[in-house]
Structure 1
């Protein structure tokens, strides 16, 4: 018998693997949280499957998502990334990733970890929603609005409320698996 999954992942094996093994599972380590911030910011305006298919290229291009290295990228690295056909070659998003890495470390210094900061918006534990269908899953919430606003105030870019809500889902701050999904 085939597993019942959230409909958004369809029949694509990569999407199903991501859905089954990552989406909605709580992430508390700063390294993985930063990886998803990078991927989500590049996803803005594109489909998530496009980003998933390029994930390993992003990992290689952005030094395994090492925010300490990324924060120090010189102009030459930006030009190198602009020539990398394996990633999304958007100068503004590349520049934002470098800036966001710097801001990420500022938040770490202030809160002890980025995880401590971001999870504070949901009281340190996942919000478990029980949607019957995907139509019941919002694109944004009051919390994603607040978090996006706070990130913007701190100088982060390409992290509006919709992207932030997708990040919250990806890192398990919110569990939006539909009620009949096998992962529930």
Structure 2
């Protein structure tokens, strides 16, 4: 079987592809982690973000949503200075902003997961691409969710970032059809 080509650049990428990418998750903490990491990736490679993932987990208390929502400006500045995270202050501030928005969504929808998964009627979209070049950078769904998230105050959630996020949490399966990790091959 031919696998997706994109993760073959590093063992870290390959492990992420094999164990996490496009696998449905309904866990708010994990979903928030992926939202944060995808936002951190803006303008950078996913490999850079994955290499810093452990530092992000340490800096943000394993992406505890309430903890992140309560971070002060001083806390964020300390994270910027003391952890090997991406040093872009607006991206770091978005962790707090987005955590606060997630808490509001949890009150309204009972979970961040329920809020997101309702866009696909709680069933992942399973694509059947023949090769990596067919995978889009965004979709009508990512545009729709991006608009909704922005309206609710989220930052770093443009349609392209949102599409990658949907892949990360398994709402979209974009493994190429011949990849052994495609939903229909597992």
Deviation at 1:12, TM superposition (A): 1.4
2:3 corresponds to: 5
Distance in 1 between residues matched to 2:162 and 2:74, nearest whole Å: 30
2:43 corresponds to: 45
Deviation at 1:163, TM superposition (A): 0.4
What CA RMSD, in Å, does the superposition of the two structures yield over aligned residues?
1.0
* Secondary structure of the corresponding residue to residue 62 of structure 2: helix
Q: Mark the runs of 5 or more structure 1 residues left unpaired by the alignment.
A: none
1:103 corresponds to: 101
Deviation at 1:84, TM superposition (A): 3.0
Distance in 1 between residues matched to 2:76 and 2:12, nearest whole Å: 29
- 2:63 is the counterpart of 1:76: no
* Secondary structure of the corresponding residue to residue 179 of structure 1: coil
1:35-66 Cα offsets, whole Å, 9 max, x none, are 10110110111100100011001000111111
Deviation at 1:4, TM superposition (A): 3.4
Question: Hey, which bits of structure 1, 4+ residues long, moved more than 3 A?
Answer: none
2:61 corresponds to: 63
2:163 corresponds to: 165
Distance in 2 between residues matched to 1:7 and 1:84, nearest whole Å: 35
Query: What TM-score do you get using the length of structure 1 for normalisation?
Result: 0.96
* Secondary structure of the corresponding residue to residue 18 of structure 2: helix
**Conserved 8 A contact 2:59-2:83:** no
* Secondary structure of the corresponding residue to residue 82 of structure 2: coil
2:20 corresponds to: 22
Query: What TM-score do you get using the length of structure 2 for normalisation?
Result: 0.95
Deviation at 1:11, TM superposition (A): 4.4
Distance in 1 between residues matched to 2:111 and 2:77, nearest whole Å: 31
* Secondary structure of the corresponding residue to residue 180 of structure 2: coil
